[in-house]
């Protein structure tokens, strides 16, 4: 069966507005407690979890005593700003029961478009996961203007799944999954158990938001599944209010709609990386570096680099060539050209002597490195 979720190590879980609120009147604390309790169990099973949570506007409206959702952007932003604090507090309180910390990460579209900010967000999230923290992500509503908004959190969650190369994107919503037509409008709608991410037919089945609370509806979820598949993640759209839903997903129960990513994760990831950008520089490697890259799949360290050409910045794509000038790999650099030049050929001791306590040695991390034979 293709729903082999036991091997999924890194999950992004998106909880939608339609689920998080008590009919728009503040947050549904009992529901949040139930998800966090399951998240704590999953963590004990070694799963890394990132939450993408909506609910800031609804929580803010309650705190401010507003009974109807404002229409002006600035009022919505003000409500989100007040509510975001409440939202994080609620998650943190429940997580603390399991001795786990939550952290707040607020993103705008621009943060993930700009390569440098993209890499910074990626590094921070990775460190948080290494530390065992559960990052809780939302759109930075207070400052996001119309042009730089994600708008719905489905898109944001898919981009986070790409960013972290998650294995699984779980989109919890107020329906049992994706139906062949909107079940709110047609009682004969049939639930789809398993589909292929990126199948254009699915977009015709998916409609807009079901309630005033949600934004995006199923269309943005179906698109999110295609986007997540680009870096090899499977997506599951599942009923967030069903009992123990996250644990049932983990145990392999066939709930919700499963979107097969189509290609193997590594192949997808490599195609994604290789197709992303044009190389803006070249790193010349010595024979030892070429060997460990090829044979061990190692990260590229400064010690194996003999020369660096081009005008690249942190996050840019560069080519890596062997002593004969043949391309052996491509990857995203952690340093700009002038910083690479300072590090050329240096081992960790020399780097520490120069830069003090260094926490990032790799010029290209192995997850950001694609051997040239892999992408043809």
Ligand X SMILES: Nc1ncnc2c1ncn2[C@@H]1O[C@H](COP(=O)(O)OP(=O)(O)O)[C@@H](O)[C@H]1O
User: What does the binding site for ligand X look like in residue numbers (CB under 6 A)?
Assistant: 16-19, 173-175, 178-179, 181-184, 205-207, 209-211, 214-218
Q: Residue 103, SS3?
A: strand
289 touches 302 (CB < 8 A): no
Does 152 bind ligand VHF (CB under 6 A)? Our answer is: yes
216 annotated to bind ligand: yes
331 annotated to bind ligand: no
Among ligand VHF, ligand X, none, the one that 138 touches (CB under a kind-dependent 5 to 8 A) is ligand VHF
Nearer to ligand VHF, 153 or 175 (CB): 153
Among ligand VHF, ligand X, none, the one that 52 touches (CB under a kind-dependent 5 to 8 A) is none
Q: Phi-psi region for residue 358, left (φ > 0), alpha (ψ -120 to 50) or beta?
A: beta
What is the secondary structure of 189-243 as a DSSP string? --B--EEETT-THHHHH--S-SSSS-SSHHHHHHHHHHHHHHTT-EEEEEETTST
Among ligand VHF, ligand X, none, the one that 19 touches (CB under a kind-dependent 5 to 8 A) is ligand X
Nearer to ligand VHF, 217 or 281 (CB): 217
Nearer to ligand X, 183 or 261 (CB): 183
Separation between Cα atoms, residue 277 and residue 122, nearest integer Å: 17
Separation between Cα atoms, residue 231 and residue 272, nearest integer Å: 6
Among ligand VHF, ligand X, none, the one that 80 touches (CB under a kind-dependent 5 to 8 A) is ligand VHF
Separation between Cα atoms, residue 13 and residue 15, nearest integer Å: 7
CB 364 → ligand X: shortest distance, Å? 37
Separation between Cα atoms, residue 351 and residue 371, nearest integer Å: 26
CB 50 → ligand VHF: shortest distance, Å? 15
CB 80 → ligand VHF: shortest distance, Å? 5
Among ligand X, ligand VHF, none, the one that 141 touches (CB under a kind-dependent 5 to 8 A) is ligand VHF
54 annotated to bind ligand: yes
79 touches 60 (CB < 8 A): yes
Q: Which of these ranges, 55-63, 160-168, 303-311, 349-357, lies near ligand VHF under the rule CB under 6 A?
A: 55-63
Among ligand X, ligand VHF, none, the one that 175 touches (CB under a kind-dependent 5 to 8 A) is ligand X
1 annotated to bind ligand: no
CB 15 → ligand VHF: shortest distance, Å? 7
141 annotated to bind ligand: yes
Question: Which pair of structure tokens corresponds to residue 185?
Answer: 């409008």
Does 154 bind ligand VHF (CB under 6 A)? Our answer is: yes
Which of the residues 197 through 226 are near ligand VHF (CB under 6 A)?
A: 214-216
276 touches 252 (CB < 8 A): no
CB 26 → ligand X: shortest distance, Å? 15
3-state percent breakdown (helix, strand, coil) of the chain, nearest 5: 45, 20, 35
CB 107 → ligand X: shortest distance, Å? 17
CB 10 → ligand X: shortest distance, Å? 22
What is the secondary structure of 240-282 as a DSSP string? TTSTTHHHHHHTT---SEEEE-SS-HHHHHHHHHHHH----EE
Among ligand X, ligand VHF, none, the one that 207 touches (CB under a kind-dependent 5 to 8 A) is ligand X
221 annotated to bind ligand: yes
Question: Which pair of structure tokens corresponds to residue 301?
Answer: 């360290």
189 touches 259 (CB < 8 A): no
Question: Which pair of structure tokens corresponds to residue 25?
Answer: 């009147």
Range list of H helices, the chain: 17-20, 29-44, 56-64, 73-96, 109-113, 115-130, 153-163, 201-205, 217-230, 245-250, 265-276, 287-296, 337-343, 348-355, 372-375
Question: Which pair of structure tokens corresponds to residue 49?
Answer: 């979890």
CB 73 → ligand X: shortest distance, Å? 19
Helix and strand totals (H; E) in the chain? 15, 13
Nearer to ligand X, 138 or 173 (CB): 173
Among 48, 111, 141, 165, binds ligand VHF (CB under 6 A): 141
Give the residues across from 329 on adjacent strands.
Answer: 320, 371
Binding site for ligand VHF (CB under 6 A): 16-17, 54-57, 80, 138-139, 141, 152-154, 214-216
Residues annotated within a binding site: 14, 54, 141, 153, 173-174, 215-221
Residues annotated within a binding site for substrate: 54, 141, 153
């Amino acid at each position: 069966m293709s729903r082999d979720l036991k091997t999924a190590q890194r999950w992004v879980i998106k909880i939608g507005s339609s689920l998080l609120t008590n009919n728009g009147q503040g947050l549904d604390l009992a529901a949040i407690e139930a998800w966090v309790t399951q998240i704590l169990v999953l963590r004990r099973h070694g799963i890394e979890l990132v939450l993408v949570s909506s609910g800031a506007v609804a929580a803010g409206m309650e705190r401010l005593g507003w009974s109807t959702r404002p229409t002006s952007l600035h009022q919505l932003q003000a409500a989100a700003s007040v509510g975001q604090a409440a939202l994080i507090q609620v998650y943190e309180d429940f997580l603390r029961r399991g001795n786990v910390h939550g952290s707040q990460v607020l993103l705008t579209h621009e943060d993930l478009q700009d390569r440098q900010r993209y890499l910074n967000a990626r590094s921070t999230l990775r460190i948080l996961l290494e530390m065992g923290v559960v990052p809780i992500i939302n759109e930075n509503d207070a400052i996001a203007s119309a042009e730089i908004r994600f708008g719905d959190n489905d898109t944001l969650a898919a981009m986070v799944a790409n960013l972290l190369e998650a294995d699984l994107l779980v989109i919890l919503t107020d329906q049992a999954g994706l139906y062949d037509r909107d079940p709110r409008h047609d009682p004969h709608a049939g639930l789809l158990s398993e589909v292929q991410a990126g199948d254009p037919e699915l977009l015709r089945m998916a409609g807009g938001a079901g309630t005033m609370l949600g934004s995006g509806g199923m269309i943005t979820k179906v698109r999110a599944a295609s986007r997540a598949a680009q870096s090899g993640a499977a997506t599951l759209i599942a009923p967030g209010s069903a009992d123990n839903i996250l644990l049932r997903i983990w145990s392999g129960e066939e709930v919700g709609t499963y979107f097969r990513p189509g290609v193997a994760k590594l192949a997808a990831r490599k195609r994604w990386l290789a197709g992303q950008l044009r190389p803006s520089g070249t790193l010349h490697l010595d024979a030892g570096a070429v060997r460990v890259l090829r044979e061990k799949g190692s990260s590229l360290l400064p010690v194996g680099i003999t020369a660096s050409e081009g005008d690249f910045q942190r996050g840019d794509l560069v080519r890596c060539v062997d002593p004969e000038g043949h391309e052996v790999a491509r990857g995203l650099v952690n340093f700009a050209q002038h910083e690479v030049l300072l590090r050329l050929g240096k081992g960790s001791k020399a780097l520490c002597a120069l830069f003090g306590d260094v926490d990032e040695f790799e010029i290209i991390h192995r997850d950001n490195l694609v051997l040239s034979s892999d992408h043809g």
